[in-house]
Amino acid sequence: MAGHSKWSQIKRKKAVNDQKRGQIFTKIIRELTVAAREGGGDPNFNPRLRLAVDAAKAANMPQDNIDRAIKRGTGELAGVTYEEVVYEGYGPGGVALYIETLTDNQKRTVAAVRHLLDKNGGNLGTTGSVAWQFERMGTIYVAADGVDEDEVFEAAVEAGADDVRSEAGEYVVSTGATALHEVRGALLAAGLAVASAQLTMVARNEVAVGGRDSERLLKLLDALDDQDDVQQVHSNADLDASVLARVS
């Protein structure tokens, strides 16, 4: 997942630099609302909500915004009802795409996703066409400044992590989906700076993408990420390092 993970890191850092706070808040608010609706409003007993609250705090979202989003999810406040819809398709170079959305209008969302795929050298697939190529896993990013990799590795693996590697000035910790919260807690307890933690779909096998296809794919991934209804985009691309370097 190295290539796609690198793109995820670049996207996260650019979002701060580009001042895309409103768009980030929109996505997080939707996740807070749905997480609270599905599992209750107490983050201590709702792991999905706990992740969403952590993401909100990392994005410097005001506590009032967080509380309102949760209350809309639990029904204490009126609000829009969002549905979780996954779209599967292909991008330039035959790359598989798994697109997670939260939407209050499926017709609008599928039309927007199809348009972006068609415009950028991709196409929408059928349900199940690419899902089998991915596995749900946890990914934790740890700041690397002044931190030895062995320290991160020891804390992470002892807590149940599968792997730790260094990428783009951060340590990327991979875990099973159910071990994410325990590993994150262990890293924090060890005094390490956790930049973010999330559940993600990791490709079982990657497809090398280079040259023009790599550039077109990055343009497509950016366009999908800019769509308000899209929460996360996952691919099995092993992206061209030289192209990634130009956009980082």
182 plus 63 within the same structural domain:
no
**How many separate domains does the chain show?**
3
* pLDDT attached to residue 239: 76
* pLDDT attached to residue 159: 95
79: in domain: no
| Strand pairing report for 207-209 and 163-167 | unpaired
pTM of the model: 0.88
Given a contact cutoff of 8 angstroms between Cβ atoms, the answer to whether 74 and 110 are in contact is no
Amino acid at 75: G
140 plus 156 within the same structural domain:
yes
What are residue 208's phi and psi, to 5 degrees? -70, 130
59 plus 108 within the same structural domain:
no
Helix (H) or strand (E) holding 109: helix 106-119
* pLDDT attached to residue 1: 46
Q: What is the CATH number of the domain that holds 221?
A: 3.30.70.980
Q: What is the CATH number of the domain that holds 22?
A: 1.10.10.200
Count of Cβ atoms closer than 10 Å to residue 145 Cβ = 7
* pLDDT attached to residue 14: 57
Count of Cβ atoms closer than 10 Å to residue 178 Cβ = 11
125 plus 224 within the same structural domain:
yes
Buried b (16+ CB within 10 A) or exposed e, 226-245: ebebbbbbbbbbbbbeebbe
* pLDDT attached to residue 15: 57
* pLDDT attached to residue 110: 97
Residue 6, helix vs strand vs coil:
helix
127 plus 30 within the same structural domain:
no
| Domain assignment of residue 118, given as a range | 84-131+206-247
The tens place of each residue's pLDDT in the chain, 248 residues long, gives: 444 555 666 666 655 555 567 788 999 999 999 999 999 999 999 999 999 999 999 888 999 999 999 999 999 999 899 999 999 999 999 999 999 999 999 999 999 999 999 999 999 999 999 999 999 999 999 988 888 899 999 999 999 999 999 887 889 999 999 999 999 999 999 999 998 899 999 999 999 988 889 889 989 998 999 999 999 999 999 876 666 555 55
* pLDDT attached to residue 3: 45
* pLDDT attached to residue 184: 94
* pLDDT attached to residue 131: 97
108 plus 220 within the same structural domain:
yes
194 plus 156 within the same structural domain:
yes
The neighbouring-strand residues paired with 209 are 239
Up-side HSE of residue 121: CA atoms within 13 Å toward CB? 15
